[in-house]
Amino acid sequence: MQPHDLYTVSIHYDRRLYREDIRGSIAHAQMLAKQGIITDDDANAIRRGLLDIQQEIEAETFPWRPELEDIHMNVEARLKEKIGDVAGKLHTARSRNDQVATDMRLFAMKTCDEAIKHTTELQLALLHQARQHASTIMPGYTHLQRAQPVLLAHHLLAYFHMLQRDKQRFQQCRRAAAVLPLGSGALAGLPYPLDRQSVAVELGFDDISPNSMDAVADRDFLLEFHAAAAICMMHLSRLGEELVLWSSQEFAFITLAEQYATGSSIMPQKRNPDFAEIGRGKTGRVYGHLLALLTTLKGLPLTYNRDLQEDKEGFFDTVDTLLSTLQVFAGMIGTMTVNADRMYDAAQTGNMLATDLADYLVARGMPFREAHGVLRRASRYALENAKEVHQLTLEEYRRFSPLFDENVLKITLEGSVESRDLPGGSAPNRVGDALREAQKILETADDS
Ligand code: ARG
């Protein structure tokens, strides 16, 4: 075929819809027979022929023909070769416009289920690590500067909750996709007594589309998936960034398992966090596909326009990128080892107890702003004397405020963490509650 003829061909990527296309066609033919539009014998012949074709595709013996352009025409032409002219009855009361929209929706529904499953697996890996580290103290950061001590479990559970919101978005996408367009025809509806509801039930849709013109032109469900995937990838990318930092020699908080780190071809000592980096890097293309589809849709008059064929490649790429990244990250989190001593040592430095010392003065009647100033001065003094602010002697503390007494010497990392005893805080008992709560969320989740 010449470049000119190849230009409109989509079979090299839309063949991925073969299962959905065949399922939809079987349901359609059975409904046509039930409604007396074709005979039961015709419907059975069509069904057998289509199942045969499915087997051929799966055995990789199907003769794909690019000149037939897309999956719908390839399957239909092959059906004619197998069962003769009866094949022509399959397309009664149907258009490729409502057919392709149905295929994409079925594929999107299946994909949302997979995304929810893999998101849950990553949550389980995070929860597993969080349980192991329910009392591991580490520095918490703002501006990537050591800020206040937290529990590693608390940090990991933050990602658990991001993923929980991702899952809710995938559930919403699934609901958006589960509306059946079939029965809309090319655009105006169909002059046959179809039973659309029974096709919806047969194919697992929740509902039927309320407007035939909207049904063949609408790709909002794909946009919603792209958006949900983009947000989820952003979360994974942030997690990937933390793994890159934490596995560096500068942090040395974690060691990634052998299978998630790769050597350098020139520097024998290197263990690069390539999987985390690639996950971070792949986020860009997922954002790109969202923008591409928004742009494709923005100028389209109702109803179907061939531009809509461009909805597929970006979508499939996003599906593959998202699902593989979720799986890789679940494995990477589940197998990493944590260097708890190193985290604890890091938490000892950076004057991270300065806020606790200020709170100590507040408890003795000093306004917080004033206490903040006292601790700024004390921290500067500590720095000049090569100490941490929580390592000053009582005599040194008292140079900055007479409110300091010997109890100040009891301010520790453990005490700091324990004092964050509010719902949502990093006190060990609160984090214990949060771990149980997270487990409950996974057990009660409606993952379907
Ligand atoms: N390959 C087309 C697509 O993906 C199928 C629908 C074609 N419809 C048409 N009227 N030419 O959108």
Phi, then psi, of 193 in degrees rounded to 5:
-80, 70
Q: Which ligand 1 atom minimizes the distance to the CA of 304? A: 10
Per-10-residue mean pLDDT of the chain, 448 residues long, equals 93 98 98 98 98 98 98 98 98 98 98 98 98 98 96 98 98 98 98 98 98 98 98 98 97 96 78 96 98 98 98 98 98 98 94 92 96 95 93 95 93 93 96 97 76
Ligand 1, atom 12: nearest CA belongs to which residue? 309
Question: Which residues are 240's β-sheet partners?
Answer: none
CA–centroid distance, 72 to ligand 1, in Å, is: 9
> Which conformational region is residue 351 in: left (phi greater than 0), alpha (psi within -120 to 50 degrees), or beta?
left
Q: Which domains does the chain carry?
A: 3-92 (1.10.275.10), 97-345 (1.20.200.10), 354-411 (1.10.40.30)
Catalytic-labelled residue, pool 4, 10, 135, 264: 264
Verify whether residue 264 is a known catalytic residue.
Answer: yes
Task: Please tell me if the CB atom of residue 78 comes closer than 6 angstroms to any atom of ligand 1.
Answer: no
- Per DSSP, the chain holds a count of helices (H) and strands (E) of 18, 6
Task: Please tell me if the CB atom of residue 237 comes closer than 6 angstroms to any atom of ligand 1.
Answer: no
Give the model's pLDDT for residue 446: 60
Total count of residues recorded for the chain: 448
The residue to which tokens 């599906």 are assigned: 319
Task: Please tell me if the CB atom of residue 303 comes closer than 6 angstroms to any atom of ligand 1.
Answer: no
Phi, then psi, of 174 in degrees rounded to 5:
-65, -45
SS3 at position 303: coil
Task: Please tell me if the CB atom of residue 96 comes closer than 6 angstroms to any atom of ligand 1.
Answer: yes
Q: Could you give the CA distance from residue 309 to residue 313 in angstroms, rounded to a whole number? A: 9
Torsion sign, CA atoms 418, 422, 425, 430: positive
Helix extents (H) in 136-183 = 152-177
Task: Please tell me if the CB atom of residue 10 comes closer than 6 angstroms to any atom of ligand 1.
Answer: yes
CA–centroid distance, 98 to ligand 1, in Å, is: 9
Pocket test for ligand 1, best of 103, 309, 311, 316 (most atoms within 8 A of CB): 309
Catalytic-labelled residue, pool 4, 143, 265, 448: 143
Residues contacting 156, CB < 8 A, separation 6+? 126, 127, 129, 130, 133
Q: Which ligand 1 atom minimizes the distance to the CA of 312? A: 4
Give the model's pLDDT for residue 416: 93
Ligand 1, atom 11: nearest CA belongs to which residue? 306
CA–centroid distance, 309 to ligand 1, in Å, is: 6
Give the model's pLDDT for residue 448: 46
Pocket test for ligand 1, best of 99, 104, 306, 313 (most atoms within 8 A of CB): 306
